[in-house]
């Protein structure tokens, strides 16, 4: 039986949702991660520093682990002001501003459609070194859904990066070889998050042998060749611009198993187990720590976590569902047996 200790991981892209759902998402997150970057696509979205501070209090009311630290991104919206950006920069819990192109995904209706209308904000963010976090897909409905990320990189991201060359950027939840190659050609202040599900799965898991809504997310799972390019990026040493953001995005079961099902894979309970299995199978377990626990902290210029996580090769069965306040959420891989477990190793200290 194999086991390893790694510095406690962080999740640099998570949807904790709000209200009663926090009673489920927060304990699951803090059982695995030292820090998370909570996404702002609530209803209404987190558009002001005060709304972030209020949300932070609601999250902290559900924590048990005093080490657990939630961070946030503001929601880039049409009413964003320079004052809000300045204030965000001074708030220790806000790490960036998230741009959802309007219509790209869940609760993106408040997003900015045409970023060129807001170049003065990007110039200020560049000056403040306040990262822009991007859902990188074009929203033009005539563009094939599998091509929306490459098209975004070519038509939106490349010109934007050239115009604001010092702006820190995180291209979130990348899914394609195009994204991998773009990041690899960029300097260190440009990075990408990668999810466990885009590393472990491809569109066959979603579509072959029956439509499986639990695997439906945005950006949608791509073909295997793209999946392998992501695996290669995170399993090659020195690729410090790639780090874990699970994009765990719970929706209630009735909203997922629906004639117009919501996008989002609920992966917090399984993400680290899936990653341990994947890295182990690829003889790359020694690279897991950089991807989950080091690269992201370095990008956001935060210290590494002092706690450790022990990953042990031991079977467990993923719960069929989680229930909270009358709501039912089905995790990815519900009912399946996974080969790795984890728990916080309190007695190991970082030298
Ligand atoms: O699959 C997704 N779900 N992708 C996103 O970008 C948003 C997320 C959500 O909030 O449900
Ligand atoms: Zn997300």
Tens digits of per-residue pLDDT, 123-173?
999 999 999 999 999 999 999 999 999 999 999 999 999 999 999 999 999
Tens of pLDDT, residue by residue over 71-123, are: 999 999 999 999 999 999 999 999 999 999 998 887 888 999 899 999 999 99
Q: How far is the CA of 350 from the centre of ligand 1 (A)?
A: 35
For the CA of 15, the nearest atom of ligand 1: 10
Residue nearest to atom 10 of ligand 1 (CA): 106
Ligand 1 neighbourhood includes 264 CB (under 6 angstroms): yes
Atom of ligand 1 minimally distant from the CA of 263: 1
Say yes or no to pLDDT of 66 above 80: yes
- For residue 259, pLDDT over 60 is answered with yes
- Indicate which residue of 10, 247, 254, 315 is catalytic: 247
Identify the CA nearest to 329 among candidates 255, 258, 220, 241: 255
Q: Is 247 a catalytic residue?
A: yes
Q: How far is the CA of 347 from the centre of ligand 1 (A)?
A: 36
Residue 55 tokens read as 């949300």
Q: Is 105 in the pocket of ligand 1 (CB under 6 A)?
A: yes
Atom of ligand 1 nearest to the CA of 39: 10
pLDDT, mean of residues 281-298 = 98
Q: Which CA distances in Å does 257 have to 202, 252, 291? A: 20, 9, 32
Q: What is the pLDDT of residue 347?
A: 52
Distance from the alpha carbon of residue 137 to the mean position of ligand 2, in angstroms: 12
Residue 342's SS3 state is: strand
CA of 205 to the centre of ligand 1 (A): 18
- 């090659």: which residue's tokens? 236
The pLDDT assigned to 107 comes to 86
Mean pLDDT for the stretch of residues 329-342: 98
Q: In terms of Cα–Cα distance, which of 158, 102, 92, 180 is closest to 130?
A: 92
Check the CA dihedral 273-37-119-241 and report its sign: negative
Residue 348 has pLDDT above 70, yes or no: no
Q: Does ligand 1 lie within 6 Å of residue 218's CB atom?
A: yes
pLDDT at residue 350 in the model = 42
What is the model's pLDDT at position 346? Answer: 61
Please give the C-alpha separations between residue 4 and each of 68, 183, 237, 312, in angstroms, as whole numbers.
21, 29, 18, 7
Q: Is the pLDDT at 322 greater than 50, yes or no?
A: yes
- State the distance from the centre of ligand 1 to the C-alpha of 97, rounded, in angstroms: 16
Q: What is the pLDDT of residue 351?
A: 38
Would you list the DSSP string of 179-214? HHHHHHTS-TTEEEEE-HHHHH--HHHHHTTS--GG
Checking if the pLDDT of 278 tops 90, the result is yes
Does the pLDDT at position 43 exceed 90? yes
Q: Cα–Cα distances in Å, from 153 out to 159, 176, 183, 351?
A: 9, 11, 10, 41
Q: Is 206 in the pocket of ligand 1 (CB under 6 A)?
A: no
- pLDDT, mean of residues 268-283: 98
Substitution candidate for ligand 1 out of 21, 258, 264 with most atoms within 8 A of CB:
264
d(CA 200, CA 208): 16
**Average pLDDT in the 2-9 region?**
96
Ligand in nearest proximity to the CA of 17:
1
| Integer Cα distance of 350 and 174 in angstroms | 31
Give the integer Cα–Cα distance in Å for 145 and 138: 9
| Residue 146 CA to ligand 1 centre (angstroms) | 16
Rounded to the nearest integer, the mean pLDDT of the chain is 96
Decide: 263 in ligand 1 pocket, CB within 6 A: yes
Output the residue whose Cα is nearest ligand 1's atom 3.
264
293 lines ligand 1 (CB under 6 A): no
Angular region, 305: left φ>0, alpha ψ -120 to 50, beta rest: beta
Q: Which atom of ligand 1 is nearest to the CA of 173?
A: 6
What is the pTM (predicted TM-score) of this model?
Answer: 0.97
Query: What is the per-residue pLDDT for 189?
Result: 98
Check residue 89 and give its pLDDT. Answer: 98
Ligand at shortest distance from the CA of 104: 1
């Amino acid at each position: 039986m194999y086991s390893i200790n790694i510095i406690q991981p962080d999740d640099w892209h998570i949807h904790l949702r709000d209200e009663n759902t926090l009673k489920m998402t927060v304990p699951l997150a803090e059982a695995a991660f030292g820090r998370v970057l909570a996404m702002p696509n609530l209803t209404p979205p987190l558009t002001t520093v005060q709304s972030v501070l209020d949300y932070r209090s609601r999250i902290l009311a559900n924590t048990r682990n005093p080490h657990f630290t939630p961070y946030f991104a503001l929601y880039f919206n049409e009413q964003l002001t320079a004052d809000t950006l300045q204030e965000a920069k001074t708030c220790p819990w806000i790490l960036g501003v998230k741009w959802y192109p309007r219509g790209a995904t869940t609760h993106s209706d408040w997003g900015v459609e045409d970023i060129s209308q807001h170049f003065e904000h990007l110039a200020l963010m560049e000056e403040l070194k306040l990262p822009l976090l991007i859902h990188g897909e074009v929203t033009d409905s005539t563009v094939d859904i599998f091509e929306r990320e490459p098209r975004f990189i070519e038509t939106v991201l490349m010109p934007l990066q050239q115009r604001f060359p010092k702006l820190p950027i995180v291209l979130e939840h990348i899914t394609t070889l195009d994204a991998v190659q773009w990041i690899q050609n960029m300097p260190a202040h440009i990075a990408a998050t990668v999810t466990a599900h885009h590393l472990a799965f491809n569109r066959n898991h979603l579509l072959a042998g029956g439509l499986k809504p639990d695997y439906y997310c945005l950006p949608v799972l791509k073909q295997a060749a793209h999946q392998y390019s992501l695996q290669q990026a995170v399993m090659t040493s020195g690729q410090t611009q790639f780090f874990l953001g699970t994009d765990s995005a719970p929706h209630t079961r009735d909203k997922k198993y629906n004639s117009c099902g919501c996008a989002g894979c609920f992966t917090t309970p399984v993400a680290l187990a899936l990653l341990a299995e994947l890295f182990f199978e690829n003889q790359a377990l020694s690279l897991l720590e950089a991807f989950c626990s080091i690269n992201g902290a370095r990008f956001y210029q935060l210290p590494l976590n002092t706690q450790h996580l022990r990953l042990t090769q031991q079977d467990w069965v993923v719960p069929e569902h989680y229930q909270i306040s009358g709501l039912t959420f089905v995790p990815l891989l519900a009912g399946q047996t996974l080969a790795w477990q984890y728990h916080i190793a309190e007695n190991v200290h970082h030298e």
